[in-house]
Chain A
Amino acid sequence: MGILVRNLTKKYGDFQAVNGVTFEVPAGQLVALLGPSGSGKSSILRIIAGLELADTGSVELTGEDATHVPVQRRGVGFVFQHYALFRHMTIRENVAFGLELRRPKPNKDEIRARVDELLGLVQLMGHAERYPSQLSGGQRQRVALARALAPKPKVLLLDEPFGALDAKVRDELRAWLRRLHDEDHMTTLFVTHDQQEAFEVADQVIVLNHGKVEQMGPPQWLYERPATPFVTEFLGSVNVLNVETVLTMDQHGDEVPLSLDLPGSEGGRAVYVRPHDLEVQRHRDGRPCWPARIRRLTPLGGLARLVLTLHDGTDIQVQLTRQRCLELSLAQGDDVFVLPKDLKVFHQPGNFVENYMI
């Protein structure tokens, strides 16, 4: 087992940052803690590292209870968002720092060899004698990673590791981190607010909101089977429609309310549809559909994004392939019919989900 946290809570003044969080990171996996800012993800990471103490709950690292072990002896590698390199030390001194503190202390040659190995790994061999201020952001973050890995930590923790980098460098580093993990399989937990990053890099994703775990699982599974409205909305774009006001045209051309079998239909319940789960047609074919008008059409390379207005005035987003768009020869202002392929409805008490495939 890699990391196990049980029932963590943490309060800052009146703010409940972490509220009863329990999860497990299996050994050798790369897991993302995903959530919006203020969801408690960084606090959880810092509690696991021992940089902060939880109010209640426990932390286990590789099967041993670490709740009361000071940060110095937890054996975690930690990478900070803004690198936190020691600016008065060279790159070599930065990477060697943790090695020099190990007991028994490795001799000079061992330290040198290990630093060289890591600088080779992060492809910064030629920069060993430079200072952090002489490196680019991406290079600095690689040094920070090498420094964290040097003492061979039990687990690796990364706090928004690519958040401060520009888009291109960020993509490169993501791919690189994934490759690195595929080679050495170190138990890794990283924090991010970017769902694309979590999906690209992680084996599993833990979605957090308001200091609680909303859902945990492999990325694609979370995307297809979100457990809560929050997860649905947070992972990719989604149309939220009001059950009561959206009218469907039935096979006779009559407009009727959504024919969903909803027990105890109370007001304000919502239906969730992803933009690519909607089909657009010129003509009705007998299946239930929503009449709509194209308000805006934005070609995006191989795809096209449509904003449609339904009869009740709701705007919805639809994503089509460019191909399909051309086939239908769609233009702004056209009247079309929309067929939902996959609808999700969340039943509030119990939070259980129903998927309606139409």
Chain B
Amino acid sequence: MSIKNIRNFCIIAHIDHGKSTLADRLLEYTGTLQKRQMQDQVLDSMDLERERGITIKAHAVRMAYLAPDGQKYVFNLVDTPGHVDFSYEVSRSLAAAEGALLLVDAAQGVEAQTISNLYQAVDNNLVIIPVINKIDLPSAQAEVVKHQLMELIGCSESDILLASAKSGVGIPEIIQEIIDRIPPPSGDSQAPLQALIFDSQFDSYRGVVALVRVFSGEISEKDKILFMATDRSFEVEELGNLVLKRVRTGKLDTGQVGYLICGAKNVRDIKVGDTVTLAKNPALQPLPGYRQVKPMVYAGIYPVDSNDFEDLRTSLEKLVLNDSALHYEPETSSALGFGFRCGFLGMLHMEIVQERLEREFDQLIIVTTPNVVYKTILTSGEIQYVDNPTQMPAPGVLDKIEEPFIDAHVISPPEFIGNIMKLSNEKRGILKNTSYIDPTRADLHYHLPLAEVVFDYFDRLKSVSRGYASLDYEFLGYREGSLVKLDIFINGEVLDALSVIVHKEKAYEQGRSICQKLRKLIPRQMFEVVIQAGIGSKIIARESIKPLRKNVLAKCYGGDITRKRKLLEKQKEGKRRMKQFGRVEIPQEAFLSVLSTDD
């Protein structure tokens, strides 16, 4: 296969704009996959991905295509995750391609996520092919979206393709444009090896499987290789292409996309964005763009039953094998016992980890209220980063606290600007600029404290804009904030897992709101339960739960003991899911939902 006939591309799209369906159609049209073999949306292989309609982990597929002119082509579709939590992974996938299909829903138009990915693609010098999808929807506004696209990427109307991935309309044209407009890879096959790792997966038999794009040189099995960022060496065991499953080829040349197995057992040895080179004849420098991914959000994960701690550890060990972005280390809480402090890329990532632990590993867990990493400057001048509110230095030695800010773009139809500004203001946002992508799309540029965004900004943004606004952000830096630690007391004892860092001006309101929520969430017990919120030793809010008066079914005759027993067993199961704090039984939800403002 000549390098001239290779096309490496990705699809940039907002959630639900039809990326997976388009990918399926391309697989079908190129004959990579027969229609009857297809399970809908083959690229999203985890159940969770399919349910949430998003691609969490990037994958790659190689398609062989015989063009009508008799030429054989190889298409490598590099798939990209579609959520703001995973923007670094997106950037590495983009780096592996020469072109991108910019897929926009004809009814929804351009969204913030799409724009930020598009800019990344442009920064990576990718050729952009705009495609308007779902043109057969009754609500399609192809003309409007065309103009948005023309403004956005400065293309002409004739550059824009119209398609309906669902019904197969426009697929042959898309394929032809991929051939005509996306350049083949360039690179010197004689130069030292430089291959980009744009994703990695874990195979329980083979260890880490790296997905790579070769930029220069070539690589063969048995080669001794070096990962330039982690400085680890391995011997290549297997090389090949991904054609939905792995197809061994023994070799990868310049321009090709494929997988690499080298006996690495730990995903941390093989980092997305790292460059593979040959140990004997290493490249002078790695490919640009590598970054150490740092968690943005932290939360405690604890077993409901303290005896399950080791089980949870084992599950986390297995889970990180295919989620290298997850960080964890053991911690203890006076309320929850032994558990783990876990770092996540964002809230979605956190939810995914929680669900995977519960579903795939059958763990009964409590996830505490998430928080960002605070930078504290002590009176001694020492700097400490704090990822757990309970470890906040004492006020006496604390000079100041800084919190992470993000640079955010909110894109929305103009009629919701008022709502969005109100919400962002409430979230301590600083409006930097307002611009218009076109008359129907405003771009609000904000600086926002990440802590405020972490909890419910995105959900509320969706609700105040009836689902139209979209958000994209990146880390900006640390800024000093007027912050205090808010503690929650249950019957006089600090429940450390509920401590949160809040803005001073909001402390009273949040203390009250947390106490009220807990009053609703904690069931009546055999005794009175007093819930208090305090800053230091000063109590700022109080609620109480009256003791349980009555819980007995009057009737237990007629012989139907089975039903009675099942009811009691169900109740016991509910009790088992609660955490014992002193004598008080606290349901799991209480630990997470305290800061949400829905209701």
Q: Do A and B bind each other?
A: no
